Amino acid sequence: MQHHRALTGSLIAAALLLAACGSGAGDTLSASGDAAGAAGAGSLTAHDAGEGAAASDDHSAAAGAPAGGSAHADGATHTPHWAYEGEAGPEAWGSLSEDWALCAAGAEQSPIDVRNTAAAAGATVGGVLTFAYQPSAFEVVDNGHTIQVNLSAAGSVVIEGTPYQLVQFHAHAPSEHTMDSVQFPMEYHLVHKNAAGNLAVVGVIVQQGSAHQEWAKVFAQLPDEGAGAAGSGTIDPNLLLPTDRTLVRYSGSLTTPPCSESVRWHVMLNSLEWSHEQLAAFTARFPHSNRPVQPRNVRDLEVLAG
């Protein structure tokens, strides 16, 4: 049973895991779940780390899609090194590659500070977004920036009638989105892709508490750094969502290079829990893996009863 609670600002501070930021977490490892995940083809092959395949992490699973074409369509494998700190850190992403210019120049970047109270004052719209997840085989990948779990047949979220297939999920520490400026120990992202290649991401905030049973399967089968491995059993993505699925929707971007925009973001207003041991297991490998919040600019936040 996963507990959840509303993200009222008072909690947290104490639970914040302030990880040491000494290690050079993100290096040139690549091996993202791109292919397996985005294609949803069902083959859960381990990825070859170090091959420099894709830009990597995360939502860049389909990075080429929203931007209308991968910067590496020629198959070149010289993706610049990026990191969460230092000379290749977030402040520099936009200048590391011309293909990553949006990281600096974009007006609809993610993550943002979710103004919970302001958003809650808006109209709540129901029935716009429906989750149709199912248990799926999985593959766990350490892509050099995060732990990513690729799913082969996990179902979809239907947004205004359009299905977006759930292709992978991955985590960030501490949280990327903040709630009324409060940051949390972790956040994980469920990345979905529709038939046209457009992305929709669901963000779930994590607080310290009980062990999360689905993530426990991931931690029990962690591959070596920079490697990937098929997991045994299945992951039920329904259990990756809080029971109360009220969320805030806004238009944003990938939170890693190339920072492509037109990503449909949905941040859950209720959190789930990981145990202290699970938080420590993630931050031991990736002490610091969050992009700082970006200007909201003129974007609206919309509350949906998921």
Catalytic positions, written as ranges? 145
- Output the smallest distance, CB 244 to Zn ion, in A: 22
- Output the smallest distance, CB 241 to Zn ion, in A: 16
291 is a site residue for Zn ion (CB under 5 A): no
Separation of alpha carbons 251 and 264, rounded Å: 5
Nearest to residue 140, comparing CAs of 61, 222, 52? 222
Region binding Zn ion by CB under 5 A among candidate stretches 41-49, 67-75, 186-194, 210-218:
186-194
Binding residues for Zn ion, how many (CB under 5 A)? 2
- Output the smallest distance, CB 170 to Zn ion, in A: 6
Separation of alpha carbons 127 and 132, rounded Å: 13
Region binding Zn ion by CB under 5 A among candidate stretches 112-120, 184-192, 243-251, 257-265:
184-192
Measured at the CA of 101, the angle between CA 73 and CA 297, to 5 degrees, comes to 130
Query: 3 or 262, CB closer to Zn ion?
Result: 262
Cβ contact 95:257 at 8 Å: no
99 is a site residue for Zn ion (CB under 5 A): no
For 219, phi and psi rounded to 5 degrees? Answer: -65, -25
189 is a site residue for Zn ion (CB under 5 A): yes
138 beta partners? 151
Q: Count, in order, helices (H) and strands (E) of the chain.
A: 7, 16
Contact string (CB under 5 A) for Zn ion, positions 52-71, x = contact: ------x-------------
Chain positions contacting Zn ion, by CB under 5 A = 58, 189
